[in-house]
Every structure is written in C-alpha cells, then in structure tokens.
C-alpha cells in the first residue's frame, strides 16, 4: 500500500472515533449551557410578583419565542407583564409550569412532574436538570423548589423545546466534526510522508554520489535520528568502499609491478649465473648475489605494501624483541656487504628491546635501511647499525649510518618529501627518485607511531634514525 493511501486510511480510522468523542463533548457542552441558562431563568422567577400572579391564576405559562431557536434574550429576567395565559395547548419553545406540595400540576397544560426530580427538589432542595424527549428532538427541563410552602406554586418546572431541525443540525455538526478530524489527521501525516520521501530521495542520491552525507532534518524527532543513522552507515560504507578500491588498486599495481621488478631481475640473474658457470668469475657471482638480493628485497617490499593496504585504521600490535630483529637483518646483509666491499658493523644492547608493532613490517623497515646503507655506499666504505635505549624516557633509537658518497640537495629533498607510498614508485624511473622501500618504511613508521628521520652528516655519508616508545 502506498504511503498516501495508507495516510488516507489512517486518517479515516482516526477521524471516526475522534468525531464521536468530539460530537459527544460538543453536544454535552451545548446541552449543559442550555441547562444552566434555563436554570438561571427559572430561578429568576422566584420573586413576589411572580408568586402573586401564579397563586392568583395558576393556569399560565411563561411566554417564549414563538419561532426559531431560543436566543440569549430568552434567558434575561422577564417582567411580570410577559406572563400571559396559555394561548394554545401545544408545547411552546419555552414554558414554565407550577406545582403544589404534592407535585400536582397547577396548570391545565402542566406535564407530569418527573419522578426522579422529586427527591432532589423536596429533600436536597437543589435544582434538578435532565433532558427530555419530544417529537422535535431532545429538550431540556429543570425543576426548582420556590420555598413557597402550602402554595400552588411550591415547585417550578421549566422546559425548553429543542430548536427546529435539531436532527439536521446535529447531523451537520457531526459531518463538520468528521471533516475537521479527517483533515487534521491527514494534515499531520502529509508532512511526515513528504519528509519520508525526501529522506528516501536523499538516501538514493547519497548512494549515487558515493555515500555522501545527508543533510540532517531540522526537526528533532525519531525520523530525524534516522538521518544520523544513515550518515553513520554511509560513512562506514564509504570507508569500506574506499578500502576495497585501495585493495583493488594495490593488487592491480602489484601485478603490473611484478613484471618489472621480478621478471627483469630474474633475467639479469639468469645471465650472471650463466656467465659465472662458464667463466667461474668471482665478479659474476657477486653480481648474481646482488641481483638475487635485490629481487628478494623488491618482492618483500611489494608484499609489505599490499599488507599495509589491508591493515585496518588501528593496526594490531604484538610485542617482540627489536634487538633480535636487527641482528637477524644484519646477519642476512653481511654476505651482500662483503660482496660490495662494505664493512657492516652492529651494536645492540645485550638485554631485549621490546616494542609493540607488526614484527614482519618492522623487519622490512630495518632491512630497507641497512640495504640502502650497503647498496649506495662505496667500495671500502662502512655502514654502522646501532640500537640504543633510553630507560628514563622509555624510548628506543635505531641509527643506520654510512660514510658513502651521500646524496645531492635535490635528491635529499625528494627523499624527505616521501610520506606515503602510492604503489607506482617502482615504475618511477626518474634519476634520483625514491623507490618503494623508503615509501613502505615511511608508512610503516607512521602507522605504528614511530619516527623516521633522514639526515646528512657534516662529514658526509647518510644517516637514518628510527625511534619510538618502548
């Protein structure tokens, strides 16, 4: 069922009981007003002039309007000259009848005194009010005790005939109340329907525009809270979509890069191994070892880059011994340093240096730093790896220093500008451009709250410092 149809049906369902309640309340209020007005008129006739007239000629009635609905003028106190003999026997719009102590009618036109009124006016001495039925509809009657004991006018009974066309008026009233109730109920649902449709439209546009945020509703209610829920869901979906796109892009670049970074070094390695097998050249063997080491580093950096893309915003941390990792990395690079005629020195504390991060990624960072210190050094040069701890500040500091030729100002600016890897560093063939290793190292440090500083010592060479909390 459409919302508009449901709103109409709901408005009809609400309008029916609402009309009944309102009609009863309005009808009762009108009847009560007539009863009170009639009571005031009847009690206003308890005076000496009316008593004298009533006792001298009980066969009289209180003149009221002859046509139409009784007006406010009927309810003002009447003058004695308005008390006239009853001109005709049929009921009049307003009548006043007198009764003696036995509730016998003193007027020939007086109706039977209501039995349920007798106790109230005789014992309680209170006015008795109640409706009565006529051929024209429902009228109002009131009985009061005059206090004139032994008189033919001991009690008064006032009657007010229903207005002409009472049934028609009541039907018009009921219809008007029903229409008002229906329109009121419908008016409360139509804005709600518009808000729901607008919210649905905004949600569709949010999906079409990449889960953008929806403008919050100005009204503070339950429907407005849905906007915030949708925005939270849209933000989550947007982040997941961006993450999926990043993973897809990383995988695509991984596949594209593998051909350049793996196939080419493998071809070169095959050539050097073939040369070494024929010539048994030590230089060819060293070159083959260098190519194999370079290939291993490139693959490990590609794997690390992909792992970084898959890490959540708050990456998990596991405690491990950093000194053991540094020893392992230096041990693996010792043959490479020997082949390049570079001295590789190590200094680490005897006690374990425990840090919390991803051990494999931190090992990749240390390997990149040591590899660069060896690869870009000179024959006869030296690379020093030093790990220190500051027990007071609860921090560690890892220094990788070489005394190689160093870097130019332009190259240093390029190295220090690397903040995060893009995934295409390995395909960037500009001279002096930083590779994937530095980009991966920088992002690993950023993700785990570590600091990576690049320095150019005054004496020459290159220095890298990695530090962080223990």
Residue in 337, 332, 334, 341 with CA at minimum distance from that of residue 363: 332
For residue 431, the model assigns a pLDDT of 37
Domain assignment present for residue 427? The answer is yes
Whole-number Å distance between alpha carbons of 437 and 42: 108
Q: Compute CA 127 distance to the chain's CA centroid, rounded to the nearest angstrom.
A: 61
Query: Cα-flanking dihedrals φ and ψ of residue 288, to 5°?
Result: -65, -40
Residue in 385, 410, 409 with CA at minimum distance from that of residue 398: 385
Instruction: Mention every residue, 6+ apart, whose C-beta is less than 8 A from residue 218.
Output: 224
For residue 268, the model assigns a pLDDT of 60
Domain assignment present for residue 239? The answer is yes
Domain assignment present for residue 192? The answer is no
Burial class (CB in 10 A: 0-12, 13-18, 19+), 452: buried
pLDDT at 359 > cutoff 90: yes
CA distances from 371 to 292, 343, 405 (A): 13, 13, 15
pLDDT-based confidence at residue 56 (cuts at 50, 70, 90): confident
pLDDT at 139 > cutoff 50: yes
pLDDT at 160 > cutoff 90: no
Whole-number Å distance between alpha carbons of 124 and 139: 24
pLDDT above 90 coverage of the chain, percent: 19
Give the chain's mean pLDDT: 77
Residue 323 contacts residue 348 (beta carbons within 8 Å): yes
Query: Cα-flanking dihedrals φ and ψ of residue 344, to 5°?
Result: -120, 115
For residue 278, the model assigns a pLDDT of 53
Whole-number Å distance between alpha carbons of 338 and 317: 35
For residue 264, the model assigns a pLDDT of 57
Higher pLDDT, 359 or 302: 359
Residue 400 contacts residue 463 (beta carbons within 8 Å): yes
Q: Quick one: 288 and 343 in the same domain?
A: no
Residues 448-463, mean pLDDT to the nearest whole number: 90
pLDDT at 253 > cutoff 50: yes
Model confidence over 105-133: pLDDT tens digits?
877 778 888 888 888 888 767 788 888 88
Q: Quick one: 302 and 328 in the same domain?
A: no
Pick from 104-113, 215-224, 404-413, 460-469 the range whose average pLDDT is largest. 460-469
Q: Quick one: 138 and 258 in the same domain?
A: no
Pick from 53-67, 188-202, 322-336 the range whose average pLDDT is largest. 322-336
Task: Give me the helix-helix angle, 282-310 and 264-279, nearest 10°.
Answer: 160
In sequence order, the β-bridge partners of residue 385 are: 346, 400
pLDDT at 176 > cutoff 60: yes
In sequence order, the β-bridge partners of residue 186 are: none
Q: Quick one: 298 and 351 in the same domain?
A: no
pLDDT at 305 > cutoff 50: yes
Element (H, E) at 272: helix 264-279
How many domains are contained in the chain? 3
Q: Quick one: 140 and 260 in the same domain?
A: no
Model confidence over 58-111: pLDDT tens digits?
766 555 443 333 444 444 444 544 555 555 556 667 788 889 989 888 777 788
For residue 106, the model assigns a pLDDT of 79
Choose the final residue of a domain: 147, 171, 195: 171
pLDDT-based confidence at residue 181 (cuts at 50, 70, 90): confident
Q: Quick one: 226 and 325 in the same domain?
A: no
Range of the domain at 231: 211-310
Whole-number Å distance between alpha carbons of 117 and 111: 13
Q: Quick one: 300 and 357 in the same domain?
A: no
In sequence order, the β-bridge partners of residue 463 are: 401, 455
For residue 80, the model assigns a pLDDT of 46
Record the pTM: 0.48
Q: Quick one: 261 and 406 in the same domain?
A: no
Residues 211-218, mean pLDDT to the nearest whole number: 64
What angle (nearest 5°) sits at the alpha carbon of residue 411, between those of residues 405 and 417? 135
Element (H, E) at 121: none
Residue 293 CB neighbour total at 10 angstroms: 21
Choose the final residue of a domain: 155, 171, 187: 171
Choose the final residue of a domain: 310, 330, 364: 310
Residue 214 contacts residue 206 (beta carbons within 8 Å): yes
Domain assignment present for residue 352? The answer is yes
For residue 433, the model assigns a pLDDT of 40
Instruction: Mention every residue, 6+ apart, whose C-beta is less than 8 A from residue 177.
Output: 18, 19, 22, 23, 26
Domain assignment present for residue 176? The answer is no
For residue 65, the model assigns a pLDDT of 40
Residue 40 contacts residue 66 (beta carbons within 8 Å): no
Pick from 17-31, 41-55, 390-404 the range whose average pLDDT is largest. 390-404
pLDDT above 70 coverage of the chain, percent: 74
pLDDT at 317 > cutoff 60: yes
For residue 273, the model assigns a pLDDT of 55
Whole-number Å distance between alpha carbons of 463 and 382: 12
Model confidence over 428-440: pLDDT tens digits?
433 344 468 888 9
3-state secondary structure of 155: strand
For residue 400, the model assigns a pLDDT of 95
pLDDT-based confidence at residue 422 (cuts at 50, 70, 90): very low
């Amino acid at each position: 069922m459409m919302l508009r149809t449901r709103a109409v049906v709901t408005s009809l369902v609400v309008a029916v009981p609402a009309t009944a309640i309102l009609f009863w309340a309005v009808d009762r209020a009108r009847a009560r007003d007539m009863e009170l007005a009639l009571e005031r008129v009847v009690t206003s006739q308890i005076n000496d002039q009316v008593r004298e007239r009533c006792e001298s000629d009980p066969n009289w009635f209180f003149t009221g309007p002859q046509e139409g609905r009784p007006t406010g003028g009927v309810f003002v106190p009447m003058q004695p000259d308005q008390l006239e003999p009853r001109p005709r026997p049929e009921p009049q719009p307003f009548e006043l009848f007198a009764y003696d102590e036995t509730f016998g009618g003193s007027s020939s036109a007086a109706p039977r005194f209501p039995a349920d009124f007798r106790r109230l006016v005789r014992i309680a001495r209170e006015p008795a009010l109640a409706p009565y039925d006529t051929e024209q509809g429902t009228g109002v009657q009131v009985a009061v005790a005059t206090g004139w004991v032994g008189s033919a006018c001991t009690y008064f009974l006032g009657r007010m005939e229903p207005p002409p066309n009472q049934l028609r008026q009541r039907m018009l009233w009921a219809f008007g109340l029903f229409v008002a109730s229906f329109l009121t109920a419908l008016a409360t649902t139509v804005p709600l329907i518009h808000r729901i449709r607008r919210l649905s439209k905004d949600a569709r546009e949010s999906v079409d525009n990449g889960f953008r945020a929806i403008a919050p509703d100005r009204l503070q209610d339950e429907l407005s809270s849905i906007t915030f829920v949708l925005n939270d869901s849209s933000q989550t979906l947007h982040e997941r979509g961006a993450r999926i796109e990043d993973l897809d892009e990383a995988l695509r670049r991984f596949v594209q890069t593998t051909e350049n970074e793996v196939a080419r070094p493998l071809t070169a390695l095959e050539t050097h191994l073939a040369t070494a097998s024929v010539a048994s050249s030590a230089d060819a063997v060293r070159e083959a070892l260098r190519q194999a080491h370079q290939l291993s580093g490139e693959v490990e950096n590609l794997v690390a880059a992909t792992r970084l893309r898959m890490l959540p915003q708050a990456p998990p941390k596991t405690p491990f011994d950093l000194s053991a990792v540094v020893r392992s990395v230096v041990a693996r690079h010792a043959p490479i340093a020997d082949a390049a005629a570079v001295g590789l020195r190590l200094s680490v504390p005897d006690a374990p240096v425990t840090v919390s991060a991803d051990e494999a990624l931190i090992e990749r960072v240390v390997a990149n730093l040591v590899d660069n210190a060896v690869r870009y050094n000179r024959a006869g040069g030296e690379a020093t790896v030093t790990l220190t701890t500051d027990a007071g500040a609860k921090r560690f500091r890892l220094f990788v220093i070489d005394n190689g030729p160093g870097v130019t100002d332009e190259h240093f600016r390029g190295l220090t500008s690397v903040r995060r890897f893009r995934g295409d560093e390995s395909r960037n063939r500009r001279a002096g451009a930083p590779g994937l290793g530095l980009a991966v190292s920088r992002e690993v440090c950023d993700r785990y709250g570590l600091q990576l500083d690049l320095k150019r010592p005054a004496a020459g060479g290159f220095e890298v410092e990695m530090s962080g909390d223990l």
